[in-house]
């Protein structure tokens, strides 16, 4: 069986593991992370293997946890620390733990209910706050079996101490006996469910994730540009102009270049993959046969592309006084929905040259951006380029805009920068994201790029509404110059 076959089979057998929310166990050594890991994953065997080199005893462990009807992925880096040595435990393990933590949505911060709070616990707490402000943290007071029965109020004292770490109310548990797991369930359920929904949302947005290898490949390969548009608008001619070679057969008959054609060329010292997705427009009419097949290829090529150049015919726009036909409008919307960058190329401008056509030229140059703005109000700043592919004019303009769009699509904004921005936005618009909505915006972080995806963390009873999320998306776009690329903003509630 090929790799993809095996992968498919694995997916069938374990349909959703990849999509489960991720929970990390953190804490200084000996607080019971392994014990809890084993309990959650129902592993019976003792897992403390000390290798001769006691510096590194185990790798990151990952398992699927079951807690009541909740399923989530649980990670444990216990054992990466050494129990002895002068070097700071945190310093040594920080790198790997941080990398794992960054992928998680939730952290369970264990402390030892028997020994009480130690200075190292406070260090772990500081580190968590600094390194992973987007991760939700629940403090677990472990080894608390039997402490309820203690008449001296040992549990209350320990809980008070644990509370002082600043991560909200702790939960008393016993990894060894299983006490307190029902409380843990109650506390974790809303977080796990929400993180789960978020994972699913991200998954859907990645549109290609059904084929993980393609996504990975996309991350490594250079800019992928798709040229799309109705037959005869000049896609092949444009492709030739961009590549500077007569590679693609062009001709006046619609649908001549039916199959998607892929070429590679260098632009400004960088490799670009260019694909002509001629078959797209037949999609609606043809359900079977070679045309349907090429429509499918076209669709897939657009999904694989980083940036899509949608080509329009200037002469036709001038004649019909319509910037876009239905098929073109829906393609533009679909490109954004699929999370790709969009550049509009208005071709055949040479047919509108000369003094006598000046008014038509200005009509076209005004109408197209207006139409795009109306069609995609949520994505301002879609570049519109006016060219003549036949005369070879506009190669630079097209490639410049494509390249810029690609850069914006890949943009990564640091959490610090984003939060400085957020406080400015909030002071400019004090009502925005405030209590009036039943929720207060706390901070924001970018969870992925390509396209840029952000999560705002809100506290309070309610959620901020969609208008608010759109406001954040459009402000981010404007303030960080992310025009023409889709921006996702999700929300997560934090306490």
Residue ranges that bind ligand GDP, judged by CB under 6 A? 27, 29-35, 48, 78, 142-143, 145, 174-176, 229, 231-237, 250-252, 256-257, 278, 347-348, 350-351, 388-390
Strands 341-347 and 307-313: parallel
In the complex with ligand GDP, the residue whose CB is nearer, 161 or 315, is: 315
Which is nearest to 223 in space by CA: 180, 175, 272?
272
Least distance from C-beta 135 to ligand GDP, angstroms? 18
Beta carbons of 142 and 114 less than 8 angstroms apart: no
332: its two tokens? 């533009």
In the complex with ligand GDP, the residue whose CB is nearer, 10 or 353, is: 353
Least distance from C-beta 113 to ligand GDP, angstroms? 8
Least distance from C-beta 97 to ligand GDP, angstroms? 12
- Laid out side by side, the sheet with 22-26 consists of 61-67, 70-76, 22-26, 106-112, 136-142, 171-172
In the complex with ligand GDP, the residue whose CB is nearer, 7 or 114, is: 114
Instruction: State whether residue 244 is helix, strand or coil.
Output: coil
Please count the CA atoms within 13 angstroms of the CA of 209 that sit on its side-chain side: 15
CA angle 179, 183, 187 (to 5 degrees): 145
Least distance from C-beta 162 to ligand GDP, angstroms? 14
Query: Residue 430: CB partners within 8 Å, gap ≥ 6?
Result: none
359: its two tokens? 């008014």
167, 171, 175, 177 alpha-carbon torsion, rounded to 10°: 170
In the complex with ligand GDP, the residue whose CB is nearer, 233 or 364, is: 233
Which is nearest to 184 in space by CA: 140, 145, 151?
140
Least distance from C-beta 289 to ligand GDP, angstroms? 19
What Cα–Cα distance (Å) separates residue 495 from each residue in 134, 191, 263, 454?
A: 12, 10, 51, 19
Least distance from C-beta 296 to ligand GDP, angstroms? 18
Which is nearest to 382 in space by CA: 360, 408, 362?
408
In the complex with ligand GDP, the residue whose CB is nearer, 55 or 420, is: 55
- DSSP structure class, residue 420: H
In the complex with ligand GDP, the residue whose CB is nearer, 231 or 483, is: 231
In the complex with ligand GDP, the residue whose CB is nearer, 11 or 58, is: 58
Beta carbons of 101 and 107 less than 8 angstroms apart: yes
Beta carbons of 240 and 250 less than 8 angstroms apart: yes
Beta carbons of 428 and 386 less than 8 angstroms apart: no
In the complex with ligand GDP, the residue whose CB is nearer, 106 or 242, is: 242
339: its two tokens? 């999370």
In the complex with ligand GDP, the residue whose CB is nearer, 122 or 202, is: 122
Q: How far apart are CA 420 and CA 328, in angstroms?
A: 39
Strands 261-267 and 453-459: unpaired
Least distance from C-beta 349 to ligand GDP, angstroms? 7
In the complex with ligand GDP, the residue whose CB is nearer, 332 or 441, is: 332
In the complex with ligand GDP, the residue whose CB is nearer, 29 or 222, is: 29
SS3 of the chain: helix, strand, coil, percent, to 5: 45, 20, 35
Least distance from C-beta 33 to ligand GDP, angstroms? 3
Least distance from C-beta 352 to ligand GDP, angstroms? 10
Least distance from C-beta 79 to ligand GDP, angstroms? 6
Least distance from C-beta 134 to ligand GDP, angstroms? 24
259: its two tokens? 């199959």
What one-character-per-residue DSSP string does 208-229 give?
A: SGGGHHHHHHHHHS--EEEEE-
């Amino acid at each position: 069986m090929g790799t993809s076959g095996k992968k498919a089979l694995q997916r069938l057998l374990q349909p959703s593991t990849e999509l489960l929310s991720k929970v990390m166990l953190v804490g200084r050594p000996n607080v019971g992370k392994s014990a809890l890991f084993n309990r959650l994953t129902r592993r019976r065997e003792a897992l403390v293997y000390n290798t001769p080199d006691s510096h590194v005893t185990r790798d990151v462990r990952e398992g699927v946890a079951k807690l009541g009807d909740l399923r989530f992925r649980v990670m444990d880096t216990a054992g990466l620390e050494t129990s002895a040595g002068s070097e700071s435990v945190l310093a040594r393990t920080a790198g790997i733990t941080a990398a794992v933590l960054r992928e998680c949505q939730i952290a369970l911060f264990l402390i030892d209910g028997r020994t009480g709070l130690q200075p190292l616990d406070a260090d772990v707490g500081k580190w968590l706050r600094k390194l992973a402000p987007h991760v939700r943290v629940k403090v677990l007071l472990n080894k608390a079996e039997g402490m309820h029965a203690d008449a001296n109020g040992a549990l209350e004292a320990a809980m008070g101490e644990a509370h002082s770490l600043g991560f909200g109310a702790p939960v008393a548990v016993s990894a060894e006996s299983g006490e307190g797991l029902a409380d843990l369930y109650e506390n974790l359920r809303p977080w796990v469910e929400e993180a789960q929904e978020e994972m699913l949302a991200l998954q859907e947005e990645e549109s290609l994730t059904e084929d993980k290898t393609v996504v990975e490949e996309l991350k490594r390969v250079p800019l992928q540009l798709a040229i799309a548009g109705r037959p005869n608008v000049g896609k092949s001619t444009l492709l030739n102009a961009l590549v500077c070679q007569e590679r693609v057969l062009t001709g006046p008959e619609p649908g001549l270049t039916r199959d998607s054609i892929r070429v590679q060329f260098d632009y400004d010292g960088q490799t670009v993959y260019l694909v002509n997705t001629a078959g797209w427009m037949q999609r609606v009419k043809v359900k079977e046969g070679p045309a349907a097949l090429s429509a499918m290829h076209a669709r897939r090529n657009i999904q694989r592309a980083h940036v899509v150049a949608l080509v329009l015919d200037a002469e036709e726009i001038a004649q019909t006084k319509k910037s876009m036909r239905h098929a073109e409008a829906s393609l533009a919307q679909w490109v954004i929905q699929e999370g790709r960058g969009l550049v509009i190329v208005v071709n055949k401008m040479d047919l509108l040259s000369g003094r006598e056509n000046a008014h038509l030229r200005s009509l076209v140059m005004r109408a197209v951006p207006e139409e795009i703005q109306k069609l995609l109000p949520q994505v301002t700043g879609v570049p519109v380029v006016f060219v003549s592919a036949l005369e070879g004019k506009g190669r630079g303009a097209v490639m410049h805009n494509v390249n810029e769009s690609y850069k914006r699509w890949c943009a990564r904004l640091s959490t610090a920068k984003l939060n400085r921005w957020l406080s400015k936005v909030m002071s400019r618009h004090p009502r925005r994201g405030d209590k009036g909505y039943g929720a207060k915006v706390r901070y924001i972080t970018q969870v992925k790029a390509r396209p840029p995806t952000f999560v705002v963390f809100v506290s309070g009873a309610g959620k901020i509404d969609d208008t608010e999320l759109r406001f954040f998306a459009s402000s981010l776009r404007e303030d960080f110059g992310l025009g023409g690329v889709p921006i996702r903003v999700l929300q997560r509630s934090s306490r």
